[in-house]
Amino acid sequence: MLLRSIKPTFRLIRTSPPVPASIPPSSISLAPHSSTVVNPRGAEQRCLALFQQSCDTFPKLLQLQAQILKLGLANNPLVLTKLASTCSELKLIDYACAILFAPDADTSLYDAFLFNTIIRAYAQTSGSKEVAVAVYGLMRVFDVLPNKFTFPFVLKASAGVGEAGLGRAVHGQLVKFGFAGDAHVDNTLIHMYGSGGDEDVEAARKVFDEMSDWSLVTWSAMIGGYARAGRGLEAVEVFRAMQTAGVRPDDVTMVSVLSACSELGAIELGKWVESYVEKEGIRESLELRNALIDMFAKCGDVDRAVRAFRSTQGPNIMSWTSLIVGMAMHGRGEEAISLFEEMVRAGFAPDDVAFTGLLSACSHSGLVNKGRRYFASMTQDFGLVPKIEHYGCVVDLLSRAGLVDQAIRFVQEMPIEPNPIILRTLINGCRVHGQLQLGETITSQLINSEPMQETNYILLSYIYGKMSHWERKTNIRQAMEEKGMKKTPGSTKIELGDEIHEFVSGDKSHRQYHKINEMVDEMGREMRRAGFAPTTTEVLLDIDEEDKEDALNRHSEKLAIAFALLNTPPGTSIRMVKNLRVCGNCHSATKFISNIYNREIIVRDRKRFHHFKDGVCSCNDFW
């Protein structure tokens, strides 16, 4: 039963809401009054008119409440519903609940419209989603039957709660009451499931496929669900099907499509979206402009992101932050700092996300002193309490700069416990800067606390490779196999024409596999001729050196580069998106390839962007 799953949230419905101290507690009662009304219909209309005309403050609400008692309308369902609606508009929905659910309230007056008003108010109030679901439970306690307008509000609230199984329980309830198949309810179901993870978006697709009529809202909800789940290819496919169906998108749809472009690194599709919006006269909302800025930054063209930002009318804090974060990803630290200072001068107070972007920019550009100063200014100048993400940025800043000892002291002095991400940042710093024994110690401790996290084992394997402890490296591989762990396969996406091609390390399924394989071999020969020496210590497998070199040559980005060299004109740029951090061997190899084939190669990995050109990377090997 749904009520059992949400019962703990009933305590969130406050029976004594905060009201001005000058108001006596008795004034919140609407117990039946002894007055009689000669013309109840006329009194009702007069009361409703007062709600409409003049009830815009709390004192006026109290005056009108007195009128309700005087006119004998305390038991009028229409008046009670209007009272709840007015309290909602005045952000006083707690006050309405104190009246409507008071011990002396007449529960026979409760109906679906009244509960819908309260559920909607809480569903639309930040931090009150649980209460909205709890009110639905209370509705069932009083045996008030929901109608088709009830469930969209409850589903929207369920999406905001983030409690596994709650949305599915509400889905079961709406099926029980016969509202499955209602277009508005189904659209909200798709939105609710689309706000969850990868598994939930499959449930959203099932609802979508079972519908007989798809409106703009339906298409947009499905595209948005795929985009939020990080499944950009499916989002683009649904968008193309929407176009084939002749449904004209709006700005909400295009925001989701741009989000999919960002995830895929599909800059050509993103450019098409920009021109399509202009050509079709789609409303360029601020959310759409911000999505454009974010898309260009995440697809590797930060200069175009700057132009999109400068042409945005009335940018908000998200506009500034999107560009600052974009600058950070591209290693353009000084420009990110300049933009941050410009934002502050423009009167915008930086938030947590802005500082995360700023500190990340300092980290990726080696600006240690500036990073420290900005971290201190969070509290001193802006009154912000640093979160774990900000501490992590400082640890990353110090570790990248080779100041591992200072990073360790910083972690020891943190007022909050370091999370595994911070510890792995320290380990990477130890590995890169030669403090291998310290890195081994921290990694071993991390494995003890997270025995099923494969990343920890892989980090320890890399350390053993650098220490030439091959037997220990082999033992790590065996330990992972015994625990059923596998290294996450590297994958790289590349856009060509109107298609997104994805390559996985060692995969042979691509239709051009044989040509790609030959091109990889050619690249290897040309690199060796140019003096490239592969770094085989990063290969986890226990195989001989020649096989290790071959395994490195089949990393996903090498396959993607070979594909691009075969299918694009000489001299054109190559853009790719990799799901993992670029390994040291591929980073070095890509520098050689960019010089040998006279190509700019732009790679977005899990951490940042790398712009390879003429044998040099924009990160200056500081990644």
Q: What is the pLDDT confidence band of residue 87, given thresholds at 50, 70 and 90?
A: confident
- List pLDDT tens digits, range 522-556: 999 999 999 988 775 555 444 444 444 555 667 89
Tell me the average pLDDT across 88-109. Answer: 78
CB atoms inside a 10 Å sphere around CB 585: 23
pLDDT at 24 over 50: no
Q: Is the pLDDT of residue 205 over 80?
A: yes
What is d(CA 75, CA 30) in angstroms, rounded to the nearest whole number? 8
Q: Token pair 């707690």 is at which residue? A: 94
Q: What is the pLDDT of residue 2?
A: 34
The CA distance from 21 to 329, in Å, is 52
Percent of the chain, pLDDT > 90?
46
In sequence order, what are the residues at sequence separation of 6 or more whose Cβ sits closer than 8 angstroms to the Cβ of residue 364?
Answer: 328, 329, 331, 333, 400, 608, 619, 622, 623
Helix (H, G, I), strand (E, B) or coil at 606: coil
- pLDDT tens for 308-342 read 999 999 999 999 999 999 999 998 999 999 999 99
Paired strand residues for 425: none
Report the candidate in 398, 429, 428 with the shortest Cα–Cα distance to residue 414.
398
CA distance 153 to 188: 8
The Cα–Cα gap between 392 and 383 comes to 19
463 against 309, higher pLDDT: 309
Residue 257 pLDDT class (50, 70, 90 cuts): very high
- If one compares 582 and 287, the residue with the highest pLDDT of the two is 287
DSSP letters, 281-342, are T----HHHHHHHHHHHHHTT-HHHHHHHHHT-SS--HHHHHHHHHHHHHTT-HHHHHHHHHH
CA pair distance 51, 580, nearest whole angstrom: 59
Is the entire prediction scored with pTM above 0.85? no
Q: What are phi and psi of 250, to 5 degrees?
A: -115, -170
Mean pLDDT, all residues of the chain: 84
The pLDDT-based confidence of 52 (bands split at 50, 70, 90) is low
Residue 421 has pLDDT above 80, yes or no: yes
Q: What is the mean pLDDT of residues 354-379?
A: 93
Residue 142 has pLDDT above 50, yes or no: yes
Whole-number pLDDT of residue 23 = 37
- pLDDT of 11 > 50? The answer is no
| Residue 59 CB neighbours (<10 A) | 10
Question: Do you know the residue count of the chain?
Answer: 623
Q: Is pLDDT at 187 greater than 60 in this prediction?
A: yes
Q: What local confidence, expressed as pLDDT, does residue 538 receive?
A: 53
Can you say how many angstroms the Cα of residue 272 is from the centroid of all Cα atoms in its chain? Answer: 24
Rounded CA gap, 461 and 428, in Å? 12
Q: Which pLDDT score is estimated for 54?
A: 66
